[in-house]
Structure 1
Amino acid sequence: MNGIDDFVFHLGGHEPNRTVERGQPFTVFTEDCFGGVLDSVDGKPRELAPFPRVNPLTGPFAIDGVRAGDVVAVHLKSLVPARDWGVATISPNFGVLSGTRLAPNLQPEQDEHVWIWRFTEDGQFLTTPTTDGRGELKTSYRPFHGTLGVAPANGEVRLCVVPGDFGGNLDLPDLGPGATLYLRANVDGAHLYIGDGHFAQGDGEISGTAIEGAFNTTLVVDRCAADAAFDWPRLETDSHIGVIGATRPVDDAARIALNGLIRWVVEATGLALADAHQLVSQSCTLRIGNLVNPSFTVIAMLPKSALGDVTVMDGLHAKLSKA
């Protein structure tokens, strides 16, 4: 396994440590958000992984043949757990139900707790003892990467806990095996970062962490031509397309996502704006990625069945799925 100094804690501001070929699968190791050092219920998260050295990222990788302005397609082929356990926490003044510096209250701080979740024998579930030791909690294994992004525009350097139009800490459970994320490259080579593996997470990441875990992840990348209409990250699965918004408050993140999805439908189908607005209004789903990061994330998704016989993003999702 890598040491913590082999990872980075920002998106942007780094020279690529590797160049990857388009269309050729490659595998990387990603550490959990605590750098693998929080492995006991007695551990102290903020001592072992003090901010901002949390959420270590693997990368950046330069993508061969990509130029600034191109749209990059990143397809997640497989996520294989690198350990048989994951870790989740509740910390004082963190999480959507806690008072924070930006949303203070006069209630007592939450106590700090750590849970070590372990896989069941069949690998389909994770369990952990309750804090009083008299029972156990159980949830389904639902792997995904919380953070996947490229170097931000205009030379900006952003902390790895931040989501934005460059991707970053999106915390969307849809970003799992078989999904393709589309991002606009802001620099030649795009400079791709990945990390923040999650074994499971409910919508919103309400306690501040998922079940954080290390992965060996296989992915494959390619490019689309520059597209002036492309703005916020897009996601495609076998069954859905979606657009991701990231800002505060959460309703503005939803507006970004919905606006982007409607305009993508217009672009893909040739429908009038009003008709695309109506189709999305009657058929979409909205999913909250997180309510705890510097910006909140929302994805607006539409079933591909609502689009008819339409191919989006040059058919790259289907192509990369077969790579």
Structure 2
Amino acid sequence: MLQPKQGRIDGTHYLPTTPETCLWGRLPNRDRPPVLRVASGDTVTIDTLSHEGILEDQGRDPAAYLAGFGVPADRVLADARDLAASGVRHDFDTDGPHVVTGPIEVAGAEPGDVLRVETLGLLVRAPYGFISSRHGYGALPGEFPETEPDTGPATVGGTRAYNSVCEFTEVIEEAGRLHGILPYGDGRAARFPLAPFLGLMGVATDTPDTLHSVPPGSFGGNLDINELQVGSSLYLPVQVPGASFYAGDPHYAQGDGEVALTALEAPLRATVRLTVIPHAEATTLLGVLGEPFAETATHWLPVGLHEDLDEALRRAVRAAVGFLSRTQGMPRHTALAYLSAAADFEISQVVDQIKGVHCLIRKTDFR
């Protein structure tokens, strides 16, 4: 267990998740004051919280809920208990589920610049998590979960039956690597390796409105790109002075598509480096960014976002063509031919209202 302020903290700055440092189900806007201020190039360790185990359909009492799966009270994160018991605003029906930590002001960031978010470290904070399916959501709404429908908001004096299906998943170490263990009866279980990443990283939008945490956009947010593991970089177009970076929705593992609704959701201690890239330099390096852009040690990742999956794919193709044309000097028709022969377009997720497609371009193809 990695309780707040305990254990290894690698960043120059440390940001716990508390009722004062987070929003629940909403994203920071231009008017949200920063909870931390850092210089460009500084590193920050953030104790992110998962929403699973604290939501209303789970009782908003993580100690009691997890006890039903045999988890003793001392194996429950203190910050999860504190947030669930706090007066932080959250409505199951109108807000997103995510616990969003921040915002962090980065000195010198101005609209038109790009914020580079390098993921330097991701530490598992608890040896368990959940994979959940809820009524009206996921890739097969109306088909899953195969329980009675959610009865909706309770009348005065009545109760509500959410009928969500939340699969408790234990984390164990096997052969020197952490694995999720998903039991399915008669002593059998599926075992799959963990590949942690933050599903939600973004910058504030230039609006007085507080945005819902579920749909991603040009600001980043709930991108759910499973390639954003340790060693990756995410590039976000800055929209307000100071950028106002935030993070949340930690995952231990996620398949492309995230079809049930959630991945293996569980808390992470994330260390990131936040660097401002001035507008002129960003344009030279990355081209004109309309959407977030990412890279790993091996691949560049142009991104396409839209409520229609076909259009999300088209936008990812356009972004990839534009990237190769601008940064590699490749004619656009040749770039399209290369992408058709050698690149992969993967579905990031189909469950966040705005669907995502990311392209994988091998760096070694461009010596």
Q: Give the TM-score taking structure 1 as reference length.
A: 0.85
How many residue pairs match? The answer is 298
The answer to whether the Cα contact below 8 Å between 1:127 and 1:137 also exists between their aligned partners in 2 is yes
| 1:1-323 matches, cutoff 5 A | 1=4, 2-4=17-19, 6-8=21-23, 9-13=25-29, 14-34=32-52, 36=54, 37=62, 39=66, 50-51=92-93, 52=95, 54-99=97-142, 112-122=164-174, 123-130=177-184, 132=185, 134-226=187-279, 227=283, 229-308=288-367
Instruction: Tell me which amino acid in the other structure corresponds to 2:317.
Output: L
Residue 6 (structure 1) shift: 3.9
Partner SS state of residue 131, structure 2? strand
Residue 92 (structure 1) shift: 2.2
Residue 99 (structure 1) shift: 2.6
Residue 63 (structure 1) shift: 0.8
CA distance in structure 2 between the partners assigned to 1:39 and 1:142 by the alignment: 23
CA distance in structure 2 between the partners assigned to 1:25 and 1:263 by the alignment: 31
CA distance in structure 2 between the partners assigned to 1:272 and 1:178 by the alignment: 30
Structure 1 runs not aligned, ≥5 long:
43-47, 101-106, 309-323
Instruction: Tell me which amino acid in the other structure corresponds to 1:117.
Output: T
Instruction: Tell me which amino acid in the other structure corresponds to 2:139.
Output: V
The answer to whether the Cα contact below 8 Å between 1:160 and 1:168 also exists between their aligned partners in 2 is yes
Residue 151 (structure 1) shift: 0.9
Residue 173 (structure 1) shift: 0.5
The answer to whether the Cα contact below 8 Å between 1:85 and 1:117 also exists between their aligned partners in 2 is yes
Please name the residue that 2:14 is paired with. none
Partner SS state of residue 275, structure 1? helix
Q: Give the TM-score taking structure 2 as reference length.
A: 0.75
Residue 141 (structure 1) shift: 0.6
**More deviation in 246-255 or 12-21?**
12-21
CA distance in structure 2 between the partners assigned to 1:41 and 1:180 by the alignment: 38
CA distance in structure 2 between the partners assigned to 1:66 and 1:57 by the alignment: 21
Q: Deviations over 1:116-156 (max 9, x none)?
A: 212113442111322x4542222111101111111124455
Instruction: Tell me which amino acid in the other structure corresponds to 1:121.
Output: E
Structure 1 residues 278 and 40: alpha-carbon distance in aligned structure 2, compared to 1, 3 A threshold: farther
Q: Which has the larger radius of gyration?
A: 2
CA distance in structure 1 between the partners assigned to 2:247 and 2:51 by the alignment: 12
Residue 225 (structure 1) shift: 2.0
CA distance in structure 2 between the partners assigned to 1:154 and 1:135 by the alignment: 50
Q: Deviations over 1:53-108 (max 9, x none)?
A: 521111100111111110111000011011111111122222111239xxxxxx97
CA distance in structure 2 between the partners assigned to 1:216 and 1:152 by the alignment: 25
Residue 3 (structure 1) shift: 4.2
Residue 34 (structure 1) shift: 2.9
Residue 195 (structure 1) shift: 0.5
The answer to whether the Cα contact below 8 Å between 2:26 and 2:96 also exists between their aligned partners in 1 is no
Identity %: 25
CA distance in structure 2 between the partners assigned to 1:224 and 1:28 by the alignment: 22
Residue 10 (structure 1) shift: 2.1
Structure 1 residues 53 and 235: alpha-carbon distance in aligned structure 2, compared to 1, 3 A threshold: closer
Residue 115 (structure 1) shift: 1.6
The answer to whether the Cα contact below 8 Å between 1:41 and 1:115 also exists between their aligned partners in 2 is no
